[in-house]
Amino acid sequence: MLETSEIIPYKGLRKIIGKRMEISGAYPMTYQGIYVDVTDLLAYRKRINAEKGASLTVNDFIIRAASLALQRTPIMNSSFNEDMTKIHVYSSYNISVMTASAHGLVAPVLKDTQDKDIYQLSAEMKALIDKANAGKLMPDDYSDGTFGITNIGKLNSYDSVPLPQPTQAAIMAACTAKKMPVVVEKDGEDTVAIRTMMKIVIGGDHRILDGVPLASFINDMKTLMEDPQSLSLIHI
């Protein structure tokens, strides 16, 4: 008989997450991934934080880019109604951001991201993280999400197969950025350069989404993240 070193109760947030993943894993998923060159984004973030006395994170840029990309492919911002007879495409782009807090994994929601610039999103995200770490998230803080983001960049993980929450059609994972040799064009010639690359993976409910909207979304993500100055604008 195997000896047990520890018994962990299956309850609370862990059980809630588990039950949601049981539902999400019961339907067909479709996935696509793409590499994004974040070399310029990292340099721009460092410069703009110094110039403006800001504290923008890489995740803030990812969230801002996702909000804009979703607006270009609205079907990504959708879900079934309760009896699964209709697909609701939402006009509010409410992004659930998976967050490892002092009290476990939570998914606070940034509401109406389409109306906010990167600085507003950053401030709201920091406030939600503080509430999560203090164990003070309220039901409204994690309700009505329409799209999910999980950033595993700090985990030294270079790929992911994320599952969306049952009330959302899609979720995006941002993986660890790393330096890689990349073929780039310079003066009309191909050359190899060392660039910092990040893989992003989009997973969608295949009953609602197919390859076209997923490809559209991740290619818009790539375009936006590789032009980081555009992400500081209110509208694009």
Bridge partners, residue 150, by sequence: 173
Cα dist from 64 to 11, 224, 233, whole Å: 34, 9, 10
**Domain-embedded: residue 185:** yes
Domain coverage including residue 168:
29-228
Tell me the CA end-to-end span of the chain in Å, nearest whole number: 62
Cα 16 to Cα 91: distance, rounded to the nearest angstrom:
27
**Domain-embedded: residue 72:** yes
User: In this prediction, what percent of the chain has a pLDDT beyond 70?
Assistant: 88
Mean per-residue pLDDT, 146-169: 88
**Domain-embedded: residue 104:** yes
Cα 38 to Cα 194: distance, rounded to the nearest angstrom:
12
Q: From the candidates 88, 103, 206, 235, which is the catalytic residue? A: 206
pLDDT at 100: 85
**Domain-embedded: residue 6:** no
What CATH number is given to the structural domain containing 53?
3.30.559.10
Cα 190 to Cα 106: distance, rounded to the nearest angstrom:
45
pLDDT in tens, 120-135: 999 999 999 999 999 8
Does the pLDDT of residue 21 top 70, yes or no? Answer: no
pLDDT averaged over the chain? 89
Find the angle CA(30)-CA(176)-CA(36) to the nearest 5 degrees. 65
pTM, rounded to two decimals: 0.87
**Domain-embedded: residue 3:** no
Does the pLDDT of residue 82 top 70, yes or no? Answer: yes
Does the pLDDT of residue 216 top 70, yes or no? Answer: yes
Mean per-residue pLDDT, 205-216: 95
Cα 167 to Cα 24: distance, rounded to the nearest angstrom:
9
Mark whether 206 is an active-site residue.
yes
pLDDT at 236: 44
**Domain-embedded: residue 157:** yes
Mean per-residue pLDDT, 31-46: 97
Cα 128 to Cα 141: distance, rounded to the nearest angstrom:
8
Counting every residue written for the chain, the total comes to 236
Structure confidence at residue 154 as a pLDDT band (50, 70, 90)? confident
pLDDT at 138: 92
**Domain-embedded: residue 17:** no
pLDDT at 66: 98
Bridge partners, residue 170, by sequence: 204
User: In this prediction, what percent of the chain has a pLDDT beyond 90?
Assistant: 69
Q: Which of 58-62, 70-74, 155-159, 182-186 has the lowest mean pLDDT?
A: 155-159
Question: Are the C-beta atoms of residues 215 and 229 closer than 8 Å to each other?
Answer: no
pLDDT at 24: 57
Structure confidence at residue 29 as a pLDDT band (50, 70, 90)? very high
**Domain-embedded: residue 109:** yes
Q: What is the CA radius of gyration of the chain?
A: 19
Cα 144 to Cα 107: distance, rounded to the nearest angstrom:
11
Number of domains comprising the chain: 1
pLDDT at 4: 54
